[in-house]
Structure 1
Amino acid sequence: MKPYEKFVDNILGAMRSSQGKDPAAATAIIQEALKAAGLMGAVPSAAQAPQQGAPFVDLNPPPAWAPHARQGKAAPDARVGPGAGAMPDWVARFTSNLPGQGVAGRGKVLGPETLGPGQFLEGSFGNEAGTRNYRLYVPARPVSGPRPLVVMLHGCKQNPQDFAAGTTMNLLAEEYGCLVLYPEQAAGANHSQCWNWFEGAHQGRDGGEPSLIAGMTRQVMREHDADAGRVYVAGLSAGGAMAAVMAAGYPELYAAVGVHSGLPVGSAHDLMSALNAMKGAGKKKRKAAAGARTVPAIVFHGDRDAVVHPSNGEAVYRQFTHGAGVAETEERGQDYTRAVARDTAGRPVAEHWTLHGAAHAWSGGSTAGSYAVDSGPNASAEMLRFFLAQ
């Protein structure tokens, strides 16, 4: 059993064994499982432990500003407490020693050969859900009309510069004349800077983080003359899961979606269901999200991914082709298998790339960024090909 899988089993076992016990006992059991996984310090002794009547601290409270928050209404820009970021933080810490994983883009001075010769502008967008910063790549090559826009959602422990370096999307955007928007998750919203795809408050239209990303997309479209018919969204891992949420919730805004090593919409609603989904459990219960099948989708997932189980790639693909009356063909390459789904008119509506021997990293990218490898099919190039063909 892989270390990550053992960790998940320990946590889930602790939760099951705590049923019927008092809250303090349940907390102690979970802490023991975390300690065994090396994810927290020593558990306090009985003498140090809180008394039986002490208040129970929720390990994963809802955001203070969310509609279902328990403690009334907070200021519009209130941030998620430490508990809400716990699941992604555990995952990031537990996988930080995997080969090739780090935050290579942080602290590095990256030049045009990595980030492209165009402008890499800074900006921000805010609404009642909070404020998020972003970086926007504007190609140096002039164009005569509106440009396509690709929204790129980074994974945990990443930032826009790091993600741009690892995916090399700016270099391709320069060639194709695309704008590239990189929203940045705030550390105050999630300790590991993961998009909170697993929280119900961030899975629907016009609320939470989806409203911020959609609002940011529209702002950039207005200010930089983007082509409203050629706006796309893509992401890696937690960013891939959020990209699927965005495509399902805003099918009129995004013409296609790319999901790399991500999860299907609605596969989790809290901490424990997220861990289960990442492990690959409960996949038979997943249903197509409303609106998801209307957006063409291209999916990449490594068959050796030990962080997000490969079954999630298949689930995303099926979710975005559900009910579309598709016909499928399959192509086998040296290091991949590609399934293509076409509608009744023969138009490609989805692609699923299974990356043979690949782990949890962006395929065909650059090691100048984190969670990226320079081997395998070039996911960025294939995504742009698929997007622009729509």
Structure 2
Amino acid sequence: MASVLAFLTAPPASAAPSGPGGGAGRVDQRTYHATTGDNSYLVYVPQGWNGAEKLPLYVMLHGCGSTADQQMNVSLLNPLADRERFMVAYPDNGGQCWRAVSNDKPSITRGGGGDADIVAGITREVIANYRINSERVYLAGFSSGAFQTSATGAAYPDLYAAIGVSAGAGYGMDALTCLGMTDSNAPSYAPQAVAQMGSHAHVMPFITFGGTWDILGENPNVGGCTRRAYLAWLATDNLLKPGTNGATYRDDPASTTTGQVSGGFSWSRMMARNTSGCQVSERWIVDGMGHDWSGGTTAPKGPSASEATWSFFQKFTLHGGSTACRL
């Protein structure tokens, strides 16, 4: 596990554009007080927020060896938040790995006293203190933060309308497990996620991002954790809403699109839908990208994961499912 965690350590953040994380708003530094200790976190308040406007919330989790400030600068979410009118919360784990990466039971369990509780607690605090629209709260993470996103999304589905996993795995998978399994094993983790969701369960829309040169991403030869996260979450949603003639949500080959960043990486995007055409997921594969947040300051040759996740997230509300059709 030690060698895998060393790989998980994020590269140093490149210099961000002028303004906090490239945005024109402000960054509030706050502390969440839990029974297990204190966690600092940042809240990005977009330019022009008047204190009464009920905005959506995007919660962003950093990776191992990184901080909330570094993830803010890498992701370039803040200028997007200015343009699209949402707030961003950046929980901080003191430069440590979020512990779902090692499948730490308290950190993947509701009420376990671990990292899932901390992320959920910070989310609730931001909702209360910033008049957030609680129907439009979303969670995404990179690397160990992606493992924690899967864990927290399953432990607290009553908080999040949709989740995003970049270079990470599904619920109940640690870093070594997801590297060693086969794709066909991934759906077998779905019952654990459903059990953890319990009475709060709902079909969880999700988006994944992975590079083909990243063993925690979409590497086709070694690893492939992000691909397995996609398969596990799709199986989870199909357990939550089983179809009469098999899976309710299936990959839709007709929706696959491809593209090329000018001077950068090529990519493909695929979706899963139900029989009514309602979308539940997106899977982005970035050809040639390593262990990075795509389109951020350390991977500018990739399509913007921040733009793509927000475009996906804003289609969903907590209790209404898709804004276009019911999931």
- When normalised by structure 2's length, the TM-score is 0.79
Cα distance between partner residues in 1 of 2:217 and 2:37: 28
Q: Secondary structure at the match of 1:212?
A: helix
1:244-270: CA deviation from partner (whole Å, max 9, x where unpaired): 1111111111001011111111013xx
Larger Rg: 1
Q: Which amino acid aligns with 1:205?
A: R
Cα distance between partner residues in 2 of 1:159 and 1:142: 25
Q: Which residues of structure 2 form unaligned runs of 5+? A: 242-247, 261-265, 317-327
Does residue 201 (structure 1) correspond to residue 106 (structure 2)? The answer is yes
| Equivalent residue in structure 1 for 2:302, among 376, 379, 382 | 376
Deviation at 1:94, TM superposition (A): 5.3
1:134-170: CA deviation from partner (whole Å, max 9, x where unpaired): 0110011236630000000000111111111111001
| Equivalent residue in structure 2 for 1:215, among 108, 121, 130 | 121
Cα distance between partner residues in 2 of 1:320 and 1:113: 34
Task: Provide the residue aligned with 1:102 in structure 2.
Answer: 11
| Equivalent residue in structure 1 for 2:290, among 359, 364, 369 | 359
Does residue 285 (structure 1) correspond to residue 208 (structure 2)? The answer is no
Q: Which stretch of structure 1 is more off in the superposition, 147-156 or 287-296?
A: 287-296
Cα distance between partner residues in 1 of 2:143 and 2:20: 26
8 Å contact from structure 1 (residues 232, 257) kept in 2:
yes
Deviation at 1:375, TM superposition (A): 1.0
Task: Output the aligned Cα RMSD.
Answer: 2.2
Task: Provide the residue aligned with 2:176 in structure 1.
Answer: 275
Cα distance between partner residues in 1 of 2:210 and 2:109: 24
Q: Which residues of structure 1 form unaligned runs of 5+? A: 1-86, 188-192, 269-273, 367-371
8 Å contact from structure 1 (residues 294, 320) kept in 2:
no
Query: After the TM superposition, which parts of structure 1 deviate over 6 Å for at least 4 consecutive aligned residues?
Result: none
Cα distance between partner residues in 1 of 2:32 and 2:117: 10
Q: Which amino acid aligns with 1:165?
A: N
Task: Provide the residue aligned with 2:225 in structure 1.
Answer: 312
Paired positions, count: 281
Task: Provide the residue aligned with 1:6 in structure 2.
Answer: none
Does residue 300 (structure 1) correspond to residue 300 (structure 2)? The answer is no
Does residue 141 (structure 1) correspond to residue 41 (structure 2)? The answer is no
Cα distance between partner residues in 2 of 1:376 and 1:252: 32
| Equivalent residue in structure 1 for 2:60, among 152, 157, 160 | 152
Cα distance between partner residues in 1 of 2:74 and 2:123: 22
1:176-230: CA deviation from partner (whole Å, max 9, x where unpaired): 111100000035xxxxx11001212211112211111101100110010000000
Task: Provide the residue aligned with 1:249 in structure 2.
Answer: 155
Task: Provide the residue aligned with 2:249 in structure 1.
Answer: 326
Using a 3 Å threshold, how does the CA distance of structure 1 residues 113 and 251 change in structure 2: closer, same or farther?
A: closer
Q: How does 1:59-98 map to 2 (within 5 A)?
A: 87=1, 90-91=3-4, 93=6
Using a 3 Å threshold, how does the CA distance of structure 1 residues 158 and 110 change in structure 2: closer, same or farther?
A: farther
